[in-house]
Amino acid sequence: MKKYLVNVNGTDYEITLEALKEGEDFAPKAAPAKEEAPKAAAPAGGTSVTAPMPGNILDVKVAQGQMVAAGQTLVILEAMKMENEIQAPVDGTVASINVTKGSTVESGAVLVVLS
């Protein structure tokens, strides 16, 4: 292995390079697995309301235990500089809220569970 000093946009980086042997193919090392936050499952008979896309939670419009009607806004999700109202798909009671204002979510993350 040989060490080199590389300058990228005015910043110096020390790197180490390893020469491959004749006929040897490069085999990258596996990246460490990303740990995902466990997704909350809906209780038996419950309905999970999930994020349709990744984004930031701008506001949570409901509280745990609150009764909601189908079509009522539960969460405001900002994605691609647009505010998206995430609405209740069915009438029910908010069993759990799995996000907070300011949090970031991935597509498919459970936002709210209705029972």
Locate tokens 């936002």: which residue?
A: 111
Q: Structure pTM?
A: 0.61
Question: Yes or no: is domain 47-114 CATH 3.40.1410.10?
Answer: no
Model confidence at 90, pLDDT cuts 50, 70, 90, reads very high
**Can you give the residue ranges of every domain in the chain?**
47-114
Model confidence at 33, pLDDT cuts 50, 70, 90, reads low
